[in-house]
Chains A and B, each alone.
Chain A
């Protein structure tokens, strides 16, 4: 019997070839169009988040110069910036954007397993963004309780957006979780079921592994946010006391009684910590592939990289309380979470070593994506090491809620994943659009972003050591903070404005090159993985023409001794390339 891949046994797949413009680009069920929709919407939301950060940086750098930035607006901007960047930009971009684009192509499938559900996912995501943005236009504005939304503070009259803003935020998050779950089921089942012939799990590129495990984390961690959002909505709208303790607001006692704010914190961080890895794991995967391709070497320690992704994913569920050391906990409890936190550094460090060893003696091509990938190694090591500081209870206590924490998490889960986003967009741009971007402009964009973000976040560590607290609208006068801290804040704001403005280079490059860039080679970097082997560039609906590819090797056959080219595509049959044994030595196939 002739081999019929699972993906081709599904007759429904053939039925929805789009005909009209609306079917093709609006109500599209093509994973590539959905990926662009997801990614575009995430980036749009991210720009809102970026502008908000520049506005509150204005207040910190040049206090009271912009009259519309009052304390309420400041807190709302800080809160919305945090939530938008973590959930609506990074999560949606990595899973909905890159996950959608890469998984079917890298798995050699025609599309996702459930294309209709996939389409539904992006439209529900749009709904969640609309609800989120609506909170800017309701009375009281968006919530200003900090992105962690801790009750009771978030729900009390002193906090901006305590009436409608917080309700819309929670509803938007719940809707987002529905979208993420629909998408997530698709990604996981596609990776499990729709891999083409010969493509074992251990032959998958690390991009797919990173997104796959991150999606599992999302599926199992978002419920904690959903549960806390539902219970908090009950507290706010129906007057229950799940989280709200007996409390006096503006002199009069509220109806709540006996609720536990700490319970909310546990639920929130049971989601919140895996969320860090929902963002980080896809970035790890994408950057591994970019490094390997541009270093013309197989990724060092592929199996270890896969195991590390799985180990980090598993461990990320038992470290959450390190975000709550100052909430008052039993010392042994803190000890446990400090230990697990430090253990998670082991597989993470292993990945960093393997990236560096991938570069070692590689035939490195310093293309623009490689700039960003190598930049990522710097920022990630930097942010990771400050994480080790904060993972220890005794060091965390004095540094908690200071700018050191802000600097740490921006380096590790802000700048680092964003550098990978740029690396990945530049790397796959030729495949996605069929055009080349402007190399010089991309490199200029790199230097502005890389050096600029260091100019922002490096001084913040020092502010943290001084004891400058985060989230404060104005510092006032304190004995322990010297007046020069304000000069540092001004410098940081100037750097932030510079970095914000320099992102225009990226957008100009991406949009200008769409029409004016030179036509791209189908495989300009000489990459071995499947997505570069499509018959059309950009890939058309159905991806693979008449028949699905067959895979004969892993995704990292670079610089194989004796081979004609310095890469062997995954779908090149056995005879055409020699195989390697364990030591990387030639062995006749």
Chain B
């Protein structure tokens, strides 16, 4: 039932049981996926507000743009690979297959870890080149936003590592099907956030 039809219903008129087997208006997705989707909206609000802050702060006279290191392109590729592998793992379990699931799932996490290591190396290089956190608001925002993105990724990796341990200790891939699906959704979201942040940081 559409949202509009839902909120224009006249509840005092219709008596009796409405709807079929499911409560009306409920999503068909698992509850965990509904919750994750709402959480992704919340996380989007956080990143959007940082972006708004960035744009407003940028207009003040003391802003000295940071020239983003080219290594970020390499890091981006790592995160893309991670997302692609998660999608692969999801497709495998969605079709109730098992072949290559371990390669896909473990590989996906591994590339995400490499991405974070890559980000840390970038931080280190920037520090060595004299771009400190406090020397300019552009630097502050760079460390803050990339750091926040990495923390979100670490949260995802925590869930990934729990599922990985289950997979290693003999769980069937179908047992962690939901977990793989949620990780995939989350990783795609963080990839999009990263691409937006990267575009913002490198174009300003």
Contacts and interface: CB of A to CB of B under 8 A. Distances in A.
**A and B found bound together:** yes
A114 B57 CA distance: 40
Interface in B33-79: 34-35, 38-39, 41-42, 45-46, 49-50, 53, 56-57, 60-63
B21 A239 contact: no
Interface in B112-147: 133-134, 137, 140, 144
Contacts of A199: 23
Given A238-B133, A242-B53, A263-B57, A197 B42 contact: no
B13 A553 contact: no
Interface in B175-195: none
Contact of B26 (A192, A234, A240): A192
A258 B62 contact: yes
A196 B9 CA distance: 18
Interface in B1-27: 6-13, 15-19, 21-27
A313 B27 CA distance: 22
Contact of B19 (A4, A198, A226): A198
A561 B39 CA distance: 46
A481 to B, nearest CB: 38
Nearest to B44: A223
Contacts of B10: 202, 303, 582
Contacts of B63: 258
Interface stretch (A21-29, A351-359, A407-415, A573-581): A573-581
B31 interface: yes
Given A189-B38, A303-B7, A241 B137 contact: yes
B18 A198 contact: yes
B125 to A, nearest CB: 20
B23 A195 contact: yes
Interface residues of A, number: 69
A207 to B, nearest CB: 15
Contacts of B11: 200, 202-203, 302-303, 553-554
A220 B41 contact: yes
A556 B25 contact: no
How large, as a class, is the contact surface on chain B? 35 or more
A365 to B, nearest CB: 22
Nearest to B46: A223
Contacts of A231: 53, 144
B60 A580 contact: no
A224 B50 CA distance: 9
A258 B61 CA distance: 8
A166 B34 CA distance: 36
Nearest to A200: B24
Contact of A192 (B27, B39, B134): B27
Interface in A2-37: 3-6, 10
B175 to A, nearest CB: 14
B42 to A, nearest CB: 5
Contacts of B60: 258, 260
Contacts of A219: 38, 41-42
Contacts of A98: none
A262 B25 CA distance: 42
Nearest to A114: B35
A189 B137 contact: no
Nearest to B56: A263
Contact of A255 (B13, B50, B134): B134
B25 A574 contact: no
Contacts of B46: 223, 226-227
A200 B134 contact: no
A114 B31 contact: yes
Interface string A315-350: 000000000000000000000000000000000000
A574 B61 CA distance: 70
A188 interface: yes
Nearest to B8: A303
A31 B106 CA distance: 37
A259 B12 contact: no
B23 A580 contact: no
Interface of A: 1, 3-6, 10, 113-114, 181, 185-186, 188-189, 192-203, 219-220, 223-224, 226-227, 230-231, 234, 238-242, 255, 257-260, 263, 266-267, 270, 298, 302-303, 306-307, 310, 550-554, 556-557, 573-574, 577, 579-582, 589
13 contacts: A114-B31, A181-B39, A195-B23, A200-B23, A223-B42, A223-B45, A230-B148, A303-B7, A303-B8, A310-B7, A554-B11, A573-B16, A580-B13
